[in-house]
Structure 1
Amino acid sequence: MTAIDSYSHNVSGEDEFGFAQAIKVGDTIYVSGQLSHDDEGNFLHPGDFDAQLQQSYKNFEKVLAHYGATRNQVASETQFIVDLPKYNTAMAAANLAYFGNHRPTSSTVGVASLFFPGQLVEISFVLDTRLPA
């Protein structure tokens, strides 16, 4: 039997919508879309792509810390971006800065809208803990 470990930020929405921020099954960690919210779940920085992106990464770092994982163990990421032509270059630059020499697979999806008014970006991840930290 494979052990399952789920993680929650304990913010509003998780119970109401019935999801975990991440779930680890064996060596794989599946991470829900991370977005710009504070520790109480309040959406931050409406309309500010760069600030939302930085807060999304900060929230992802909490998931990494829970599992004792690093960004070098990210195997895949999916970015959901409102107004992709406007923010594609900023997303690419942030991605390069965040991952450094590590190169996970990546899919970028342009969307008409996301959950919160003014939300411009959300990123989900898949990690493999067998990758070097």
Structure 2
Amino acid sequence: MPARSSGSAALSPRSRASTPTTSTRPRLPPHPVVEAGRTAYLAGQCPLDPSGALVGQGDLDARIDQVAANALAALDVVGAKPDQVVRSVIHVVTDDGPVPAAAWERLTGSVIGSAFTTASTLLGVAQLGFPGQLVEVDLTVALGRPAAPDGDPRGGAGATPERALA
């Protein structure tokens, strides 16, 4: 899926910021995917459809499903899969104890379920960024080593002992 580069001058030469093309959000600033070295930080994934409209008025499950779809698209921007997520933070608007647990169950059963098998924090919060938003997910992804110029997936020269001896 193509990405739009933000061209941010604050990023180092080894960093890149992109916004998934599915994230056209006229009401909100873009929530970029920032790739720094071999780590990517996926900013808060919200329950918005490609037009920027809030999905599932009052329906937490519908919103979680949209967040999962948006997160999957954001992972695709950096060539990652859910099982490469090394940290997640899930925010759920509620003052009811069982609601975050239900959100957790929905997320772990979703298309990005394997993202939540590592360091995860689940928070019940009073409010999120815009009215009616019930859930948001932040992800940190460990990206694989870049392939060597010759296409060797073990990485560039010296990346492994085998390459150093070759």
Give the TM-score range, shorter chain: 0.7 to 0.9
* Secondary structure, counterpart of 1:115 in structure 2: coil
Deviation at 1:52, TM superposition (A): 0.3
Correspondences of 1:1-133 after superposition (within 5 Å): 2-8=13-19, 9-12=23-26, 13-14=28-29, 20-83=31-94, 85-98=97-110, 99-100=113-114, 103-130=117-144
Count of residue pairs the alignment pairs up = 127
| Contact in 1 for aligned 2:82/2:115 (Cα 8 Å) | no
Larger Rg: 2
Provide the rounded CA distance (Å) in 1 between the counterparts of 2:89 and 2:116: 16
Unaligned 5+ runs, structure 2? 1-11, 146-166
Amino acid at match of 1:91: A
TM-score by length of 1: 0.84
| Contact in 1 for aligned 2:88/2:116 (Cα 8 Å) | no
CA change 1:26–1:58 in 2 (3 A) is: same
Provide the rounded CA distance (Å) in 2 between the counterparts of 1:51 and 1:102: 19
Provide the rounded CA distance (Å) in 2 between the counterparts of 1:72 and 1:101: 5
CA RMSD of superposed structures (Å): 2.1
Amino acid at match of 1:66: V
TM-score by length of 2: 0.68
User: Relative contact order (C-alpha < 8 Å, sep 6+): which is higher?
Assistant: 1
**Structure with greater proportional helix content:** 1
Taking only the aligned residue pairs, the percentage that are identical comes to 25
Deviation at 1:100, TM superposition (A): 4.3
Unaligned 5+ runs, structure 1? none
